Amino acid sequence: MGDILVVDDEPKLGKLVAEMLELDGHYVQRVGGGREALSAMSNFSMDVVVTDLRMPEVDGLAVLGAAVKQSDPPDVVLMTGHGNTETAVEAMKGGAADYLSKPFSMDELRVRVKRLCELRAIRRRSSALVERLTPTLVAESPAMRATLDAALKVARTSTTVLLLGESGTGKSQIARRIHYASAVSTGPLVELHCAALPEALLESELFGHEKGAFTGAQQRHAGHIAAAEGGTLFLDEIGELSAATQVKLLRFLQDRVYVALGSTAERTANVRVIAATNRDLKAAVTGGSFREDLYYRLNVFSIVVPPLRERLDDVLPLAVRFLSTRGIPEERLSAGARSRLELHAWPGNVRELQNVLERALILAGDAPIGPEHLTLSVAPRSRNVVSDLLGPGFDLDDFERELLHAALERAGGNKSAAARLLGITRRRFYSRLESLDAAKDGESEG
């Protein structure tokens, strides 16, 4: 059963609809117009909204428009008079779940509302199961929180998504999050790594092939697009596609039509596409290795997944998550190891962090993980870093103050984290910053 909102400016019909739905055990709230409906939806969460299409001031389309913008949008059923069927069909394209032409059978209305409530309950159970089975993404840093927020917003649509970012940042995790938060979460999530297969095999895996299409094709193969019907197709490393495969993928994105190898028959598929790459696709377009029209078809909604060096607040939570998946308490990670993890630049991103911790567990055995167990790559420093700084006008106090402020900005205003970045205590950081700022202010006043 569900929470139903009935909206109709005809009191008799609105009352009858409400009473019929209450007989089925639904909790029903009835209002006499679109304006009251907007107020009710802003104050209460609804499962289904049954609304008349033609109403004065605020009509059913306005009610629909407000409903689909909610964080958990209700299913909207439109009640239409004769001659409004075309409008109702257009409204369904805009997000309505169903429509009924007046006069309609009350039993038919009850059946349709019951079906919508049952489907909604199934989606909720499915989402709850997915939440339990899918690890929550670590997003303590502002950069990652913004990334996850964008992913969850686009998940509610069927828009093609392009994930950009360095290797090892977690683009595949974002893709899975988008799928499981989408309306097709109960459908399949099919993943294809475009860089892992040779060109001929990649085309076959993506579009499928008929028996005898090429040497070794002993039976028909449906392909990943067909396997993703009603769900999501995730194409990782999309920048590695050959020119021929790019043309075929472009056609599929435009018309949702494709042809299997060895066949002349066109096939269609209802599939949401998410693509990912660590390449600069704009540069690839300029260089001629990637089609410009395909780039714009893919880049409808792009999300840049930040590298770990830009989300240092996530390092320790990620480390703790990694250890917990292996049944290891976070207390095994010593204070010295934590400090060293936070100070590292992580050129290999999350994948490097996982590898470092895997090796540390082996080296530490049953003992706590210390800094000596962390094998970290160190970027070589230029021998001329210091000498390059020295010159006319160089001021040591000014340089130190700028360094302290830079560390504070990188740490998001957290003085303790800024101090750890510089390898000093919080007290020393704070006192030195206060002293240098006061001296600078004194110079300005003088």
Between the two ends of the chain, the Cα-to-Cα distance in Å is 75
Evaluate if residue 315 carries a pLDDT over 90: yes
Query: Residue 163: beta bridge partners?
Result: 276, 303
- Residue 382 has what pLDDT? 41
- pLDDT, averaged across the chain: 87
Evaluate if residue 303 carries a pLDDT over 70: yes
Angle ∠(177,139,150) on CA atoms, nearest 5: 50
Share of the chain above pLDDT 90, in %: 56
The domain covering 142-304 belongs, at the CATH homologous superfamily level, to P-loop containing nucleotide triphosphate hydrolases (3.40.50.300)
Structural element, H or E, at residue 273:
strand 272-277
The C-alpha atoms of residue 133 and residue 130 are separated, in whole angstroms, by 5
The answer to whether 142-304 and 309-373 have equal CATH topology is: no
The C-alpha atoms of residue 69 and residue 64 are separated, in whole angstroms, by 9
Mean per-residue pLDDT, 42-49: 89
What SS3 state is found at 36?
Answer: helix
Structural element, H or E, at residue 332:
none
Does the domain at 309-373 match CATH 1.10.8.60? Answer given as yes
Structural element, H or E, at residue 28:
strand 27-31
Question: Between the ranges 359-368, 391-400, 430-439, where is the mean pLDDT highest?
Answer: 359-368
- Residue 351 has what pLDDT? 92
- Residue 133 has what pLDDT? 57
pLDDT tens by residue, 172-220: 999 999 998 888 888 899 999 998 888 878 989 999 999 888 877 788 8
Residue of 406, 402, 410, 401 whose CA lies nearest to 436: 401
Mean per-residue pLDDT, 151-159: 91
- Residue 413 has what pLDDT? 76
Say whether the peptide bond before residue 103 is cis (omega within 30 degrees of 0).
yes
pLDDT tens by residue, 329-364: 999 999 989 988 988 889 899 999 999 999 999 999
Residue of 286, 274, 285 whose CA lies nearest to 182: 274
CB–CB of 234/172 below 8 Å?
Answer: yes
Mean per-residue pLDDT, 121-137: 68
- Residue 161 has what pLDDT? 96
- Residue 392 has what pLDDT? 61
pLDDT band of residue 307 (cuts 50, 70, 90) is very high
Mean per-residue pLDDT, 137-164: 92
Q: CA 14: distance to chain centroid?
A: 40
pLDDT tens by residue, 220-247: 888 999 999 999 999 999 999 999 999 9
pLDDT band of residue 443 (cuts 50, 70, 90) is low
Mean per-residue pLDDT, 60-77: 89
Predicted model pTM: 0.60
b/e map of 120-129 (b: 16 or more CB within 10 Å)? beeeeeeeee
Q: Which CATH architecture has domain 396-445?
A: Orthogonal Bundle (1.10)
Give domain 3-128's CATH number out of 3.40.50.300, 3.30.360.10, 3.40.50.2000, 3.40.50.2300: 3.40.50.2300
- Residue 394 has what pLDDT? 66
The C-alpha atoms of residue 213 and residue 262 are separated, in whole angstroms, by 4
Token duo for residue 169? 């940042």
Share of the chain above pLDDT 70, in %: 91
- Residue 391 has what pLDDT? 60
**Per-domain boundaries in the chain:** 3-128, 142-304, 309-373, 396-445
The C-alpha atoms of residue 219 and residue 370 are separated, in whole angstroms, by 55
pLDDT band of residue 32 (cuts 50, 70, 90) is very high
pLDDT tens by residue, 72-128: 889 999 998 766 667 777 777 778 888 888 888 999 999 999 999 998 887 777 666
